[in-house]
Amino acid sequence: MSLDHRLDPEHEELRRTVEAFAHDVVAPKIGDYYERHEFPYEIVREMGRMGLFGLPFPEEYGGMGGDYLALGIALEELARVDSSVAITLEAGVSLGAMPLHLFGTEEQKREWLPRLCAGELLGAFGLTEPGAGSDAGGTRTTAVRDGDEWVINGSKCFITNSGTDITGLVTVTAVTGRKPDGRPLISSIIVPSGTPGFTVAAPYSKVGWNASDTRELSFDDVRVPVANLLGEEGRGYAQFLRILDEGRVAIAALATGLAQGCVDESVKYAKERHAFGRPIGDNQAIQFKIADMEMRAHMARIGWRDAASRLVRGDTFKKEAAIAKLYSSTVAVDNAREATQIHGGYGFMNEYPVARMWRDSKILEIGEGTSEVQRMLIARELGLQA
């Protein structure tokens, strides 16, 4: 038996297409969006026309009929150039549309998925709260049934894609009751944008991902139809665990792209920058730094593709997803730090992509499960649990 890690022709064609788009369309424009803290609607519309938001969804709902490996490939290539664009795609697919695809009724899928797959609308996933991030079981947002409606009260924070002009819905986790032992019944409910009582705050002032949309949400007696329940009542906690497992594969691909982008920019700079009469890339100290960076990016790629392949085959992938997310986010931070060092003073200037990469890398060790949570998951999968 032999292992072949090469992409099949369709996936390789996708990779080349997104690579060209990232370099020809995203790279020349994204720096200005980033500095203005402005959402890149023009770029997102083009991504929609390319079918990127529909990559892992069936054609019957307007998708491309691809898989999670295809999504990861697209995310990696985009993140080699910019992470704001990549996280907009990742959140739009993994957190916005995927819950509907996995848990929605046929009517919910028909209503929302075609426009989400086309990039005409963006969806968001309202999970995190000021007091319930890693401990999502501490959810305080409530949804009380009143006749044929849910009445939602509470707040969410750090929600990506929640306040753009094309945001169509937010899937919100809320406590809808109590189990016999007193534990909360957490359910997922679709809240369309513009619903009375649903308030979207101004964008956060962030360290990185400055061309992506991240906001705080509040719900004040927000009423939506009972039919907006996503899946079974009380299954919201299990749903979000499934969504986060898959999302970690996507974040690992994105982090790998950032790590590889740091290599790309460092190789380019090491050839162009001269010191003491020769390119700095002639110095073994620089060569070794870049060699280590390439090694880390290569191993991260193997990790996320292994997890994605397991997911696509229908095999268990929770541990592998946690490993891929933990490792790739760590090396993204490491490579961003080294790339900045190689660039010297210019690495501290926003006109150079590595400055964005440095600022964007840290959140990868936090979002969709901190590095500490990933270690907990890995240990648990090994049978180490109190």
60 catalytic residue (yes or no): no
Token pair for 179: 């189990």
- Could you say which of 76, 246, 265, 368 is catalytic? 368
Tokens representing 225?
Answer: 């139809």
Q: What is the Cα–Cα distance from 117 to 94, expressed in whole angstroms?
A: 12
Q: Report the C-alpha dihedral over residues 292, 294, 295, 301, rounded to 10 degrees.
A: 150
Residue in 148, 107, 151, 157 with CA at minimum distance from that of residue 128? 157
CA distance 250 to 219: 29
Q: Rounded to whole angstroms, how far apart are CA atoms 25 and 19?
A: 10
Classify burial at 186, counting beta carbons within 10 Å of its beta carbon; exposed 0-12, middle 13-18, buried 19 or more.
Answer: buried
Cα 38 to Cα 7, 43, 165: the distances in Å are: 35, 12, 12
- Show which residues are catalytic: 368
